[in-house]
Amino acid sequence: MTLNEQIIKKYWGFFNDEDFDSAGGLMVYDAVVWWPNTREVFKGKDKFIFVQKKYPGKWKISLEKIFSKDDIVISVVNVEAEDKSKSFYATSFFKMKNNMICEIHEYWGDVGEPPEWRIKQGLSERY
């Protein structure tokens, strides 16, 4: 595992522990975070970390995949509500500079059931 991958693994561990200040410590001060699903951009780690602290509910974060090339790290995490009422996947593209996160593009998707027609026609299977 590369150093940058280790940093991102630590970042998600801090999120899982709700230690958002420590996660923010892995980011440069003027980091930019893009959430295309909601067309939001957070300019500066303080705004992004503030939003994380105010996000409702408790969530379990599980790192499922991590890849890197040069200064880019891509991770896939499963995010599940503590009461198991909701679950999401997030694919995040981290840009690193001097072993610090300087930019994140994050895409979220709900976990749900496939359309029944795909199952009935044998086009896909549940796993």
What pLDDT digit, counting tens, does each position of 24-81 carry? Answer: 999 999 999 999 999 999 999 999 999 999 988 899 999 999 999 999 999 999 999 9
Sign of CA dihedral 48, 52, 55, 60: positive
What pLDDT was estimated at residue 56? 84
pTM of the model: 0.91
Reported in sequence order, the residue ranges of 9-71 that DSSP labels E, i.e. its strands, are 27-35, 40-43, 59-69
Distant-in-sequence, close-in-space partners of 97: CB < 8 Å, separation ≥ 6 = 28, 71
The pLDDT tens digits of the residues spanning 50-62 come to 999 998 889 999 9
How many other β-carbons are positioned within 10 Å of the β-carbon of residue 122?
A: 7
Q: What pLDDT score does 54 carry?
A: 93
Query: In sequence order, what are the beta bridge partners of 42?
Result: 33
Contact between 41 and 49 (Cβ < 8 Å): no
Could you give the domains of the chain?
A: 3-120 (3.10.450.50)
Per-residue confidence (pLDDT) for residue 62, from 0 to 100: 96
The answer to whether residues 17 and 91 touch, using CB atoms and an 8 Å cutoff, is no
User: pLDDT tens across 70-123, in order?
Assistant: 999 999 999 999 998 899 999 999 999 999 999 999 999 988 888 888 888 889
